[in-house]
Amino acid sequence: MSALGKYISTRRIALGMSIRQLAIESGISHTEISRIELGERECPSIRVLISVAKVLGVDYLELVQLVSDDNLSPICRNSTKSTFPHLQNESQVEFIENVADLIHRYESLPEEKYDKLLEQVEMFLEYNTKLSY
């Protein structure tokens, strides 16, 4: 069991919740919750960590700190809002977190696809910056 899995399991049990109840309330499958608790999923996505943290009543950064730095994307190590302070709403934050998670999970992404993805993110950020003025 990983530190993250043990923490989630301990907190969930302390709240009197079953895995299924945590899954329903967080919108994450019970299979995924179980895999995290058993340590089979070493780096859940930031979206999963945020959803689980809300239900457990903890700051998601608490969960992020329990994930090994080797398994954590750089964007997850810092708060997305502090990394990208110009983001206007939660959907923009979620977009950036999903892109960072995708890049981190697919380190073997071919260089040309990585460049194309980076170009699209830069276009998004440029567009977002223009909207905020």
pLDDT in tens, 75-124: 444 455 555 666 667 777 777 777 776 666 665 667 777 777 777 777 77
Co-location of 108 and 60 in the same domain: no
Listed residues 67, 91, 118: the one ending a domain? 67
Higher-scoring residue by pLDDT: 63, 113: 63
HEC letters along the chain? CCHHHHHHHHHHHHCCCCHHHHHHHHCCCHHHHHHHHHCCCCCCCHHHHHHHHHHHCCCHHHHHHHCCHHHCCHHHHCCHHHHCCCCCCHHHHHHHHHHHHHHHHCCCCCHHHHHHHHHHHHHHHHHHHHHCC
Tally the domains of the chain: 2
CB atoms within 10 A of CB 20: 12
Co-location of 26 and 42 in the same domain: yes
Asked if residues 57 and 46 have their Cβ atoms less than 8 Å apart, the reply is: no
Listed residues 52, 67, 82: the one ending a domain? 67
pLDDT of residue 113: 75
Is the pTM value of this prediction over 0.85?
A: no
Co-location of 80 and 58 in the same domain: no
Tracing tokens 């923490």 back to the chain, one arrives at 7
Listed residues 16, 45, 67: the one ending a domain? 67
Asked if residues 104 and 77 have their Cβ atoms less than 8 Å apart, the reply is: no
Range of the domain at 53: 1-67
